Amino acid sequence: MLSVLRNRTYRHLFTAQVVALAGTGLATVALALLAYDLAGADAGAVLGTALAIKMVAYVAIAPLAGALAGRVPRRALMAAMDLTRAGTALALPFVDRVWQIYLTVFLLQAASAVFTPTFQATIPQVLPAERDYTGALSMSRLAYDLESLFSPALAAVLLTAVSYDWLFAGTAVGFLASAALVVSAVLPKAPPVERAGGVRARAVFGSRLFLATPRLRALLALDLAVAAAGAIVFVDSVVVVREHFHRPAADLSLALGAYGAGSMTAALLLPRALARVGDRTVMLPAALALPAALAAVAAVTAAPPGGWSWSALLAAWALLAAAGSAVLTPGGRVIRRSAAEADLPAAFAAQFSLSHSCWLLTYPLAGWLAAAAGLPATALTLGVLALAATAAAAVLWPRRDPDALRHEHTDLPAGHPHLTGAHPSRAGAWSHGHHYVIDEHHRSWPRAGRAGAAAR
């Protein structure tokens, strides 16, 4: 897996991702302290609103990344978003109103919503070999997990010497370093986007690609399963630790550490597993483990707190993370095989937006249910949602899912360049087979069982 770091371009981009994540982690801690200074006991409500604004920015802005990537050089676009995030971070120490927190959070996350899918779409071109790209996906997952452990520790050390305002300066330094690393990377030339239409048409295309491709519809269902399972961890861990188990605040870090350890373990094991079996074979069984783990959480939180139940909870948190990582990490491989190279920015932008729509649903659901119905009912409800989403993915994703499909064209004239090698199949129709993706010439998926299904 580490062999991918020998590629200079990827090494620069990966390092840019790591330092930007570290900066984001510092901002998360500093923002919580800023909210407390401004809102006191209402800081939780402020942060909850800020989290909702973050998700809204991701859902609304990310589709524009695919459209902009076709018009603006990717290196310039990513560097500009890093500079925007750095400037926003530097403005945060001067915030003295709650509404200003909301505005700066929106600006910060809007820039991230453009940067991240553009970054994700660039990596498959930097590392075209399947094995290398799989290693890069695992490296990215490890970076996110390590950041969740490292950034709070770094913030705690820094806060012993400086006030939290200086953490925002550290955030800005992280983004500036990321911009410098992106600029220093020599990116492959992006393929031209041949799709007609303006920015709006290109922004919408990614969502249409997801809705028209069976395996991508399944991927969206799996994203919902992971969001249902992850929401109880990110929203309710503090309630589980403090209210149910009556354990000290420091044990919240232990619970979240178990979650991070499970995710990292899966990320380390995935490259070998994916080299032997396909994405579907890994992702669907992993998704099935999510409702099972949530059922265990329901049982643990329904039982009286004790030493065994605390250990069982840590194991359940680790299982939820490992299963979620095994579902999410190969997602990039599924997207890459489902889109033309020129359409990868639109595809990753759509996935970024649609997957965060799932979190926008499950975050408040986990919070409201825990407050109104208790932890066991919350875990069971989210488990049912995860199970339903996994079942939908199993139905949507055909067991036999080849890349190349035979299909017919009824709307292209004889002699069209795309029909090279095709042969007449019936009056006015041409038949051929190739790696099939939704694009200008293929607007719908061929119907299963019909080799000559029309690509209308």
Summarised one tens digit per residue, pLDDT across range 3-37 is 888 999 999 999 999 999 888 888 888 887 888 78
Per-residue confidence in pLDDT tens, the chain, 456 aa: 678 889 999 999 999 999 998 888 888 888 878 887 888 767 666 776 787 888 888 888 888 776 676 678 889 999 999 999 999 999 999 988 889 989 999 999 999 999 998 898 899 989 989 889 999 989 998 888 888 777 777 887 888 888 888 989 999 999 999 999 999 998 887 666 555 555 566 667 888 888 899 999 999 999 999 999 999 988 888 888 888 888 887 788 788 888 888 999 999 999 999 989 999 999 999 999 999 999 999 999 998 887 789 999 999 999 999 999 999 999 999 999 998 888 888 888 889 899 999 998 998 888 888 888 889 999 999 999 999 999 999 999 999 888 888 888 877 787 788 888 788 877 678 888 888 888 877 888 887 544 434 333
Cα–Cα distance, 168 to 164 (Å, whole number)? 7
Report yes or no: 140 and 328 within 8 Å, Cβ to Cβ: no
Domains of the chain and any CATH numbers: 1-190 (1.20.1250.20), 202-401 (1.20.1250.20), 403-456 (no CATH)
Q: How far is CA 350 from the centre of its chain?
A: 11
Summarised one tens digit per residue, pLDDT across range 201-254 is 666 788 888 889 999 999 999 999 999 999 998 888 888 888 888 888 778 878
Summarised one tens digit per residue, pLDDT across range 179-196 is 999 999 988 876 665 555
Whole-number average pLDDT of the chain: 86
Closest among 353, 345, 346, 335 to 110, alpha carbons compared? 353
Long-range contacts of 245-248 (CB under 8 A, 24+ apart): 245/305, 245/309, 245/310, 245/313, 246/305, 247/310
